[in-house]
């Protein structure tokens, strides 16, 4: 069952104003300076804004009780704290939520860009799956997002904005904030916080290849990990890449989050077809980059994602080759049942075959949880994300796979 919901019309008073939600300290400082805050106060005022936006989830400047009335009015006249606009919210039978979000149009864009963000609640954690690009330039044969042309990279604020918006919608800010003097939050059916943090993990596994938007994703994750704000430990942030090898060591040094690799095949001839970036950076180079990833240990392992495609990559021989390939790398193997989408030529592996595969991997000493598909009824599962605003190119892509 899904509950599509139209978004509220943006507050006309704030619709056109640039949003400060999702900016880093430097940009917040510049925004304060532009409304006349003197240089000597900038650091202190920036810290106040930071805390209101990222620790308390303010959606209105008028909530900022320790900021002078004049400055609040000055900020409200020039800026907003708007999040990306919700076009549709869907709630799956299993509690998974998917938001289709509309972003402000970029300079030369013809269509209004849209992205998807997914929240997956589990008993002991809540994972937010966020997008890093609108569409994807890569064309993995089993991925719905890959049927969408790349429109553009997301800005830092658009990446952070997905987390702010999700926390608004699921009531994940400290108690007593939501609904206070904020027309947007009120229109968005406020949910009371239980005091327990709901989003405990963030994964860059939505639309796009995050390492192709390196700087914006890195700067966004620095905001997410900042202890004075959203304060999510880097060990609870995972970047998933299809294997942009040259950027992997740089990501380790400059961002230092957990890493997931979309492996999906153990031989170059097959991986060339499934994950075409393999033609540029073959498996041996990818493995070398993984081995060198900073800070690896048994407590900090790389996750290898492996989508189970019937009669393509799911044989016993594949399982054995996988173990050999990963020898010596602190690794977890995440077996993902293929999530079908309209127009795909792939089929999901039989359940018994997935279990057989998992057992071989388990016996070799690797944790290999089979990822339970979540939110399939609302097309929110891995690889199903794709905003409808963008032209399909499935035929071109499938031709490449054949
Ligand atoms: N572009 C990045 C991150 C986004 S994809 C990457 O490829 O790693 C997130 C994960 O979902 C990847 O492991 C991807 O291979 C997997 N995936 C894509 N399509 C899928 C599908 N139809 N079924 C199951 N998993 C899929
Ligand atoms: Fe892009 Fe990742 Fe999908 Fe491949 S799996 S097309 S890299 S989003």
Measure 86 CA to ligand 1 centroid, in angstroms: 24
Query: Rounded to the nearest whole angstrom, what is the distance from the C-alpha of residue 310 to the centroid of ligand 2?
Result: 19
Residue 174's pLDDT is 86
* Sign of the torsion formed by the C-alpha atoms of 313, 401, 246 and 163: negative
To test the pocket of ligand 2, the residue of 307, 383, 401 to mutate (highest count of ligand atoms within 8 Å of its CB) is 383
The predicted model gives 241-256 an average pLDDT of: 98
Mean pLDDT of the chain: 86
What is the structure's pLDDT at 89? 94
Which residue did the predictor score with more confidence, 66 or 192? Answer: 66
Does 368 sit in the ligand 1 pocket, CB within 6 Å?
A: no
Report the share of the chain in percent with pLDDT over 90: 72
Residue, of 9 and 44, whose pLDDT is higher: 44
pLDDT digits (tens, 9 = 90+) for 356-401: 999 999 999 998 778 777 777 777 666 666 654 333 333 333 333 3
pTM > 0.85: yes
More confident residue, 308 or 190: 308
pLDDT of 105 > 80? The answer is: no
How much is the average pLDDT of 4-16? Answer: 48
Beta-strand pair 114-121/126-129? antiparallel
State mean pLDDT over 147-160. Answer: 89
d(CA 231, CA 19): 21
For position 395, what pLDDT does the model report? 36
Quote the pLDDT of residue 28: 98
Average pLDDT for residues 253-278, to the nearest whole number?
A: 98
Q: What is the number of the ligand 2 atom nearest to the C-alpha of 136?
A: 1
Report the pLDDT value the prediction gives residue 189, as an integer from 0 to 100. Answer: 38
Confidence of residue 188 (pLDDT cuts 50, 70, 90): very low
Q: What's the whole-number mean pLDDT along residues 48-63? A: 97
Q: Which ligand is nearest to the CA of 142?
A: 1
Residue 232 has pLDDT above 70, yes or no: yes
Instruction: Single out the catalytic residue among 63, 85, 89, 116.
Output: 116
- Please give the distance, rounded to the nearest whole angstrom, from the Cα atom of residue 274 to the centre of ligand 2: 10
Pocket residues for ligand 2 (CB within 6 Å)? Answer: 136, 138-140, 143, 145-146, 208-209, 242, 262
Identify the band that residue 114 occupies on the pLDDT scale cut at 50, 70 and 90: confident
Residue 201: per-residue pLDDT: 97
pLDDT at 187: 40
- Ligand at shortest distance from the CA of 397: 2
Q: Is 116 designated active site?
A: yes
Which ligand 1 atom sits nearest the alpha carbon of residue 341?
Answer: 22
Alpha-carbon gap, residue 178 to 168, rounded angstroms: 7
pLDDT of residue 378: 73
- Higher-confidence position of 218 and 197: 218
Most confident of 72-86, 144-158, 377-391: 72-86
Ligand 1 site, residue 58, Cβ cutoff 6 A: no
Instruction: Answer with the residue of higher pLDDT: 15 or 24.
Output: 24
Query: So what's the pLDDT on residue 287?
Result: 98
């Amino acid at each position: 069952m899904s509950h599509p919901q139209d978004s509220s019309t943006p507050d006309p008073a704030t619709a056109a104003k640039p949003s400060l939600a999702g900016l880093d300290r430097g940009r917040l400082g510049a925004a304060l300076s532009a409304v006349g805050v003197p240089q000597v106060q900038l650091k202190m005022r920036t810290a106040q804004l930071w805390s209101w936006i990222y620790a308390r989830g303010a959606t209105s400047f008028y909530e900022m009780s320790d900021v002078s009335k004049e400055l609040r009015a000055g900020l409200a006249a020039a800026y907003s704290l708007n999040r990306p606009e919700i076009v549709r919210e869907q709630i799956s039978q299993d509690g998974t939520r998917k938001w289709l979000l509309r972003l402000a149009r970029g300079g030369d864009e013809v269509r209004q860009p849209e992205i998807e963000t997914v929240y997956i609640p589990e008993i002991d954690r809540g994972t937010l799956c966020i997008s890093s690009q609108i569409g994807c330039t890569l064309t993995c044969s089993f991925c719905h997002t890959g049927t969408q042309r790349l429109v553009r990279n997301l800005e830092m604020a658009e990446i952070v904005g997905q987390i702010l918006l999700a926390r608004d919608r699921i009531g994940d800010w400290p108690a007593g904030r939501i609904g206070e003097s904020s027309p947007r939050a009120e229109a968005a059916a406020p949910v009371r916080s239980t005091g327990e943090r709901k989003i405990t993990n963030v994964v860059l596994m939505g639309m796009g290849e995050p390492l192709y938007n390196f700087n914006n994703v890195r700067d966004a994750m620095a905001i997410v990990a900042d202890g004075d704000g959203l304060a999510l430990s880097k060990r609870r942030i995972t970047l998933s890449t299809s294997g942009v090898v040259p950027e992997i060591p740089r990501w380790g040094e400059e961002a230092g989050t957990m890493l997931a690799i979309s492996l999906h095949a153990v031989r170059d001839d097959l991986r060339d077809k499934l994950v075409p970036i393999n033609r540029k950076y073959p498996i041996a180079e990818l493995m070398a980059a993984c081995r060198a990833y900073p800070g690896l240990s048994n407590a900090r392992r790389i996750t290898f994602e492996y989508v189970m495609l019937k009669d393509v990559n799911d044989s016993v021989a594949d399982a054995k080759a996988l173990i050999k390939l990963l020898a010596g790398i602190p690794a977890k193997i995440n077996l993902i049942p293929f999530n079908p989408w309209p127009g795909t030529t792939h089929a999901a592996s039989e359940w018994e075959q997935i279990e057989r595969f998992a057992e071989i991997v388990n016996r070799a000493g690797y944790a290999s949880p089979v990822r339970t598909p979540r939110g399939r009824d609302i097309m929110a599962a891995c690889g199903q994300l794709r905003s409808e605003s963008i032209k399909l190119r499935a035929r071109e892509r499938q031709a490449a796979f054949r």
